[in-house]
Structure 1
Amino acid sequence: MDLQISVFLLFILFTAGHSLRCYECMSVTGSCAGQTVQTCPSGFSQCESLTGVTKVGDITSKVQAKGCVPVCLSGSINFGLVRTSASCCSTDLCNLQNAPDPSNVPNGKKCYTCDGRSCSYTLSCSGDEDHCITATTTSGGQTTMVKGCVTKSICDATTSVRNVESISCCEGNLCNGAQSVSQSFLFLCCSLLSYFLLH
Structure 2
Amino acid sequence: MDLQISVFLLFILFTAGHSFSCYECMNTEGSCAGQTVKTCPSGYSQCESATVVAQAGDITSKVKAKGCAVACQSGSMNFGIVKMTSSCCNTNQCNAQDAPDPSNIPNGKKCFSCDDKSCSNTVDCSGPEDRCIKATGTFGGQSLVVKGCASKSICDATSVSSVEAITCCEGNLCNGAQSVTQSFLFLCCSLLSYFMMH
Q: State the TM-score, normalizing by the size of structure 1.
A: 0.89
Q: Distance in 1 between matches of 2:99 and 2:139?
A: 32
Q: How does 1:1-199 map to 2 (within 5 A)?
A: 16-17=15-16, 18-157=18-157, 159-199=158-198
Aligned to 1:112, what secondary structure does the other structure show? strand
Aligned to 2:125, what secondary structure does the other structure show? strand
Which of structure 1's runs of 4+ aligned residues deviate more than 3 A? 11-17
Letter in 2 for 1:22: C
Aligned to 1:47, what secondary structure does the other structure show? strand
How far is 1:29 from its partner? 2.1
Q: Which residue of 1 aligns with 2:7?
A: none
Letter in 2 for 1:160: S
How far is 1:63 from its partner? 0.7
The answer to whether the Cα contact below 8 Å between 2:48 and 2:68 also exists between their aligned partners in 1 is yes
The answer to whether the Cα contact below 8 Å between 2:48 and 2:197 also exists between their aligned partners in 1 is no
The number of residues matched between the two structures is: 189
Aligned to 2:173, what secondary structure does the other structure show? coil
Q: Distance in 2 between matches of 1:170 and 1:14?
A: 49
| 1:175 to 1:34, Cα distance in 2 relative to 1, 3 A | same
Q: Distance in 1 between matches of 2:117 and 2:143?
A: 12
Q: Which residue of 2 aligns with 1:7?
A: none
How far is 1:116 from its partner? 1.3
The answer to whether the Cα contact below 8 Å between 2:68 and 2:197 also exists between their aligned partners in 1 is no
Q: Distance in 1 between matches of 2:151 and 2:14?
A: 35
Q: Distance in 2 between matches of 1:151 and 1:12?
A: 43
Q: Which moved more, 1:89-98 or 1:56-65?
A: 89-98
How far is 1:141 from its partner? 3.9
Q: CA RMSD in A?
A: 1.8
Structure 2: unaligned runs, 5 residues or longer? 1-9
The answer to whether the Cα contact below 8 Å between 2:21 and 2:93 also exists between their aligned partners in 1 is yes
How far is 1:165 from its partner? 1.5
Q: Which moved more, 1:184-193 or 1:122-131?
A: 184-193
The answer to whether the Cα contact below 8 Å between 2:135 and 2:166 also exists between their aligned partners in 1 is yes
Q: Which moved more, 1:137-146 or 1:92-101?
A: 137-146
How far is 1:34 from its partner? 1.3
How far is 1:14 from its partner? 6.0
What's the CA shift string for 1:138-159, capped at 9, x where partnerless?
23442211100001111111x2
Q: State the TM-score, normalizing by the size of structure 2.
A: 0.89
The answer to whether the Cα contact below 8 Å between 2:115 and 2:183 also exists between their aligned partners in 1 is no
Aligned to 1:118, what secondary structure does the other structure show? coil
Identity %: 68
Aligned to 2:51, what secondary structure does the other structure show? strand
